[in-house]
Each structure stands twice: as C-alpha cells, then as structure tokens.
Amino acid sequence: MLLDSSGLKLFDFKTSKWSKLVSGLVAYPCWSHDGRFLYFLRSPDISDVYRVAIPSGKIEELAGTKGLHMAGYWPLWLGLTPDDSPLTLKDMGSQEVVSMEWREP
C-alpha cells in the first residue's frame, strides 16, 4: 500500500461511518492476526514501526529504524511474523549475501 496523506481510517459497518485512527503519513498497514491491532510505518523520512489498538485508537511506537538503511520499494516495507512481531527489510549492500533461517518462537 502506498503512502496516504490522510492517515488511517476505520469503517464501522454498523454505523456506516469512517473514523480516523491516525493522522499524517503512514505506509504499509498490516492487521495483527487476532484483528486487535493495525501495524504501520510512519512517513518515508522516519519509518518507525507503530501500532494502533482497535477500537480504542491508542497508538504505540514499537521500534525505531533511525540509522538503518531500509530496503524495498520506497524504500519501505512492513510485514508481521506469525506472532505479530514487526518484520522489515534492511539494505546490507551488494557485497555480502546472507541467508537467515526463521524459527518460530
């Protein structure tokens, strides 16, 4: 999902109304596996990992990426592991090729 300057909104099917969850630039929203949280990256310059609780709207900063050279399109990307840990890409350059094995906690 590309950046949207209007932030994140949630549609309530019972009331047929939108509610704003987060204002400002956000990217790559991902639902938690239980549907209780929406994870996202903030703006292309900051790209820290946040999550917003549904339906309370409480926003938490989970991880900072300052100093990391992010890889991928824009160059941002966010996904979640099966236990809802944030997963991003880091550009390590082209000098090394590294293989990592993921183990479920």
| Distinct helix (H) and strand (E) counts, the chain | 0, 8
Strands 49-53 and 37-42: antiparallel
What confidence score (pLDDT) does residue 45 get?
Answer: 58
Residue in 87, 99, 83 with CA at minimum distance from that of residue 32: 83
pLDDT at residue 4 above 60?
no
Per the domain annotation, does 103 fall within a domain?
no
Per the domain annotation, does 30 fall within a domain?
yes
pLDDT in tens, 5-47: 578 888 889 999 888 888 888 888 899 999 999 998 886 556 6
pTM for this structure?
0.71
Per the domain annotation, does 96 fall within a domain?
no
Angle (CA) 53 43 66, round 5°: 95
pLDDT in tens, 39-98: 988 865 566 888 999 988 899 988 776 666 555 555 567 889 899 988 877 666 666 666
Domain range holding 55?
8-87
Q: Domain count for the chain, please give it.
A: 1
